[in-house]
């Protein structure tokens, strides 16, 4: 049974997991270096799967720790393994490292110095928290029965970085030195968000984030003079009709409680004011939270586009580029993670989200193979209403750096508790 080190009695979740007083002290001692690393990463963001400056900063921060480090060759991914002093299974913790191709307008002292590149989704905080977790758990190596695999991943923002790391053998962990098997038992990732107050976490079992596919429809008609549309097959009105019809299709063909989103973000047509073009192209994104609905939407888009085009004697060519799958959390892992979070943050601070987020994540590839969970970490700056805070992916988004302490504590505790270590 956990015993409180203060006059405050242990909560029910602390009775199950421990009061983590010493762990929280360790986190406090790591915050200066965590903030410094986060700001260094924020100042020099990089995009995609090749992140040389970022990898160098991470490797420098990990230097001297008792880690077996593997540098991935197809990407800038880093796999760092901490082996405890006792045998046991492996738990994996993931932090993504890449930034977004966009300007930064935050006026922070450590704002991006790379033109049109910004850590607008908080991956700099994820990476820094994971490095700090590696430091904390390295100090507790003698307590650990098993291993912790730290997955520093590039290319989350549309570049399939997790899949590249998996294809390169990330999950093919070796046996322990004594020949004992040490399979990966669970995998966890944290994601900071300004849609939730600092000091809170949230997630849900089952689908937690959507699939993401890219849509392109080209309507081919017959060009001609803008003053004689009757002599042409004008693709622009047909493209506009398809855009409208896709929204009707979503509301009338897709189940309310198994939702999907089709958003058209580009319409490309024409070269000047007095020419009807031969083609018009519409592009956008498709989101769904089940494979069943994902496939249904794909089929419905083709039927709607081809049918409308045919009604006007034109042709629609539909191309769907398959992106990330639905991110599906393992329910027992979610209950476990939220219970641990409550023991760290207090009652009412760890919430079951009622519905999925329609954003997408390539941690989905990991969760398709290993039980685990994606957990959202509140990061709204103090004094700012989450409802009006600049959201993730905004050129003005800012995160409360103090929230990284909660993330480091949660990452560390998830690893320790998965391996059966009481939090002290």
- pLDDT tens profile 292-342: 999 999 999 999 999 999 999 999 999 999 999 999 999 999 999 999 999
Dist. CA 325–CA 206, nearest whole Å = 13
Q: What is the per-residue pLDDT for 233?
A: 98
**Domains 12-208+326-418 and 211-321 agree in fold:** no
How many Å from the N-terminal Cα to the C-terminal Cα in the chain? 12
Q: Does residue 2 register a pLDDT over 60? A: no
Please give the positions annotated as active site.
Answer: 324, 401
Average pLDDT over residues 177-190: 96
Q: What is the per-residue pLDDT for 67?
A: 98
Output the CA torsion sign for 46, 368, 67, 379: positive
User: Does domain 211-321 match CATH 3.30.2130.10?
Assistant: no
Q: What is the per-residue pLDDT for 9?
A: 86
Q: What is the per-residue pLDDT for 128?
A: 98
**DSSP 8-state class, residue 242:** H
Average pLDDT over residues 76-92: 97
- Give the residue extent of every domain in the chain: 12-208+326-418, 211-321
Share of the chain above pLDDT 70, in %: 98
Average pLDDT over residues 166-178: 96
Q: What is the per-residue pLDDT for 7?
A: 60
Average pLDDT over residues 348-373: 97
Q: Does residue 6 register a pLDDT over 70? A: no
Residue-wise pLDDT tens digits, 244-256: 999 999 999 999 9
Q: What is the per-residue pLDDT for 385?
A: 96
- Name the average pLDDT for the chain: 97
Average pLDDT over residues 47-76: 98
Q: Please give the sequence-ordered ranges of beta strands (E in DSSP) within 162-254, or none if there are none.
A: 184-197, 201-203, 206-209, 211-220, 224-225
Average pLDDT over residues 14-22: 96
CB neighbours (10 Å) of residue 91? Answer: 23
Q: What is the per-residue pLDDT for 325?
A: 98
Q: Which residues contact 126 (CB under 8 A, 6 or more apart)?
A: 95, 96, 97, 189, 190, 191, 192, 407
Q: Does residue 72 register a pLDDT over 70? A: yes
| CATH annotation of 12-208+326-418 | 3.40.630.10
CB 390, CB 313: distance < 8 Å: no
Q: Does residue 224 register a pLDDT over 90? A: yes
Q: What is the per-residue pLDDT for 8?
A: 75
Q: Does residue 4 register a pLDDT over 50? A: no
């Amino acid at each position: 049974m956990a015993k409180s080190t203060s006059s405050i009695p242990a909560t029910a979740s602390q009775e199950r997991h421990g009061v983590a007083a010493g762990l929280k002290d360790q986190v406090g001692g790591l915050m200066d270096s965590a903030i410094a690393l986060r700001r260094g990463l924020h100042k020099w963001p990089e995009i995609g799967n090749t992140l040389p400056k970022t990898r160098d900063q991470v490797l420098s921060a990990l230097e001297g720790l008792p880690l077996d480090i593997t540098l991935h060759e197809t990407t800038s991914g880093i796999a760092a393994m901490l082996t405890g002093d006792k045998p046991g299974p492996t738990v994996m913790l993931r932090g993504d490292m890449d930034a977004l191709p966009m300007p930064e307008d935050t006026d922070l002292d450590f704002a991006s110095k790379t033109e049109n590149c910004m850590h607008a989704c908080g991956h700099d905080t994820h990476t820094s928290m994971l490095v700090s977790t590696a430091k904390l758990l390295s100090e507790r190596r003698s307590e650990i029965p098993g291993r912790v695999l730290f997955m520093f991943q590039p290319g989350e923002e549309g570049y399939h970085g997790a899949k590249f790391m998996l294809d390169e053998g990330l999950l093919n962990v070796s046996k322990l030195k004594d020949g004992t098997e040490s399979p990966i038992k669970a995998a966890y990732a944290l994601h900071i968000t300004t849609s939730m107050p600092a000091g809170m976490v949230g997630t849900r079992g089952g689908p937690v984030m959507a699939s993401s596919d890219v849509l392109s429809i080209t309507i081919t008609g017959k060009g001609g003079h803008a003053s004689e549309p009757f002599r042409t097959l004008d693709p622009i009105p047909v493209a506009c009709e398809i855009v409208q019809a896709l929204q009707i299709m979503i509301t009338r063909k897709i189940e309310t409680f198994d939702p999907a989103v089709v958003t058209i973000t580009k319409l490309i047509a024409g070269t000047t004011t007095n020419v009807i073009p031969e083609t018009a192209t519409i592009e956008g994104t498709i989101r769904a939270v089940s494979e069943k609905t994902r496939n249904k939407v794909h089929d419905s888009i083709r039927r709607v586009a081809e049918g409308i085009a045919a009604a006007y004697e034109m042709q629609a060519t539909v191309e769907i580029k398959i992106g990330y799958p639905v991110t599906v959390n393992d329910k027992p892992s979610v209950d476990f993670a939220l219970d641990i979070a409550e023991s760290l943050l207090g009652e009412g601070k760890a919430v079951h989200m009622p519905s999925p987020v329609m954003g997408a994540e390539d941690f989905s590839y990991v969760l398709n193979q290993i039980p685990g969970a994606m957990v959202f970490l509140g990061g709204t700056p103090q004094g700012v209403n989450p409802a009006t805070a600049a959201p993730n992916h905004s050129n003005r988004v800012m995160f409360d750096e103090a929230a990284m302490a909660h993330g480091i504590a949660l990452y560390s505790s998830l690893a320790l508790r998965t391996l059966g270590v009481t939090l002290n």
